[in-house]
């Protein structure tokens, strides 16, 4: 297990919660011995510098096994600009080709996914943050005019408390956009 790895979680058949980390090794006791193939999932977080940097996914390896094959998936909850390189017995795959039980483990977008059949591989990723966008300045003015007084006893007629014949007056800037909304039934303009 590389240095700087955190938030480790181990799941699999016959795996309890009694696994532990000792230095750069994660020790996973099994509830029963395994004969034949077994699947063990180890997930973790690797911190990244705020300016970006390089990652080397796939460095976690099992000790004392006859053979190994599996998948490597790199996810990020943030949108980042990334470029990946790979060498060895490694096949880049579409994230939809990952087994369903692995895809369900993260809701974050996948940056890269690979399948391997032997341990002689190396993955390199260069991560950069996207440039921050600029906010457009806006000024919004709101003017509400209320002049009409309508009463049901007046037969639906509306009365202007100041002067029914005078139109409403207001001052507005020379460069303006005035939006009008439909008047309610029973009012007059």
Nearest in space to 98 (alpha carbons), one of 121, 76, 116 = 116
The answer to whether the CB of 62 falls within 8 A of the CB of 34 is no
Q: What is the Cα–Cα distance from 95 to 118, expressed in whole angstroms?
A: 20
Longest pairwise C-alpha distance within the chain:
96
- Residue 76, helix vs strand vs coil: coil
The answer to whether the CB of 186 falls within 8 A of the CB of 156 is yes
Q: Is the per-residue pLDDT at 51 higher than 60?
A: yes
pTM (2 d.p.): 0.58
What's the confidence (pLDDT) of residue 156? 57
pLDDT tens for 94-132 read 999 998 878 887 888 999 999 998 888 889 999 888 887
């Amino acid at each position: 297990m590389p240095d700087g790895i955190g938030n480790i979680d181990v799941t699999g058949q016959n795996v309890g919660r009694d696994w532990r980390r000792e230095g750069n090794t994660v020790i996973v006791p099994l509830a029963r011995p395994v004969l034949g193939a077994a699947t063990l999932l180890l997930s973790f977080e690797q911190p990244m510098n705020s300016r970006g940097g390089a990652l080397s996914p796939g460095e976690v390896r099992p000790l004392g096994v006859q053979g190994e094959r599996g998948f490597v998936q790199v996810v990020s909850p943030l949108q980042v600009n990334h470029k990946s390189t790979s060498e060895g017995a490694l096949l880049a795959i579409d994230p939809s080709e990952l087994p369903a039980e692995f895809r369900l483990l993260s809701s974050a977008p996948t940056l890269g996914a690979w399948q391997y059949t032997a341990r002689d591989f190396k993955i390199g990723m260069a991560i950069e943050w996207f440039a921050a966008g600029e906010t457009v300045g806006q000024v919004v003015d709101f003017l509400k005019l209320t002049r009409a007084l309508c009463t049901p006893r007046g037969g639906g007629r509306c009365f202007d408390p100041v002067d029914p014949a005078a139109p409403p007056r207001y001052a507005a800037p020379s460069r303006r956009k005035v939006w009008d909304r439909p008047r309610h039934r029973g009012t007059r303009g």
